[in-house]
A = this chain, B = another copy of it.
C-alpha cells in the first residue's frame, strides 16, 4: 500500500551535491550572510526545492555542518590513527590535514566550524549546540590519539586543546588573507617538540 513505493523520485537535482554546495555557501559567507538567495544561486535549486528538501535555513545549516563533519572527520581520523612515534607526530599529522583543506582551491577559505564559532550569537540554540559538539568531538579525537602515541594524561589534554586552537587560528588567518607559507609556519611551530 504505497509504503514501499519507489518514493516517486523525480527530483531534478542531486540532493547530496546540492547540500555540498549549500555547505560551501555557509562556509564562505557565514550564517548571517548566507541568504536564501545566495543559497538558491549556489545550489541551483529554487526556493521550493530548497525548503522542500532541507527545511528552513537553520535546518539546512545543521545539515551542512553534518556533511562537513562527514567529509572531513574521516580525513582527520585517518591522519590520527597512526601509529605515531610521538605526540608531536600526531599534532603534525592533524595540522597537515587542516593545511591541505585550506590549500584546496575548490573550497572556501578557513573552516565552516571556525566561521560559525566566530558568529556564535548569530546562530540559534540548535546551531550553537551543534557547533560546540563538533569542536568537542575534534578535541576528544585529538586527545585519544595523543594518549595512544604515548602522551601522559595531562599532556594529552593540553596538546589536544592547543592543537585545536592552532586549527582555529589557521582558519582565521586564512580568512584574513595570510599566505599559505605563513599558515604552514604556524603549523610547523605548533608541531615542534617542546618541554
Contact = CB atoms under 8 A, between A and B. Distances in A.
B172 A32 contact: no
10 contacts: A32-B32, A33-B119, A33-B122, A110-B118, A114-B172, A117-B172, A117-B175, A158-B185, A189-B194, A194-B195
A135 B117 CA distance: 20
A146 interface: no
B175 A118 contact: yes
A38 to B, nearest CB: 11
A170 interface: yes
Interface string A41-63: 00000000000000000000000
Most buried by B among A115, A120, A172, A173: A172
Nearest to A177: B132
Interface in A163-188: 164-166, 168-173, 175-177, 182, 185-186
Which residue of A135, A161, A176 has the most chain B CB atoms within 10 A of its CB atom?
Answer: A176
Contacts of A131: 176
Interface of A: 28-30, 32-33, 109-110, 114-115, 117-122, 131-132, 135, 158-159, 161-162, 164-166, 168-173, 175-177, 182, 185-186, 189-190, 192-195
Given A118-B119, A119-B33, A162 B190 contact: yes
Contacts of A161: 182, 185-186, 189
Given A158-B189, A189-B158, A119 B176 contact: no
B32 A175 contact: no
Given A32-B30, A117-B176, A165 B192 contact: no
Q: Which of A29, A115, A158, A168 has its CB near the most chain B CB atoms (within 10 A)?
A: A168
- Return the 6 tightest CB-CB contacts between A and B, nearest first: A118-B118, A165-B169, A32-B32, A169-B169, A194-B194, A117-B176
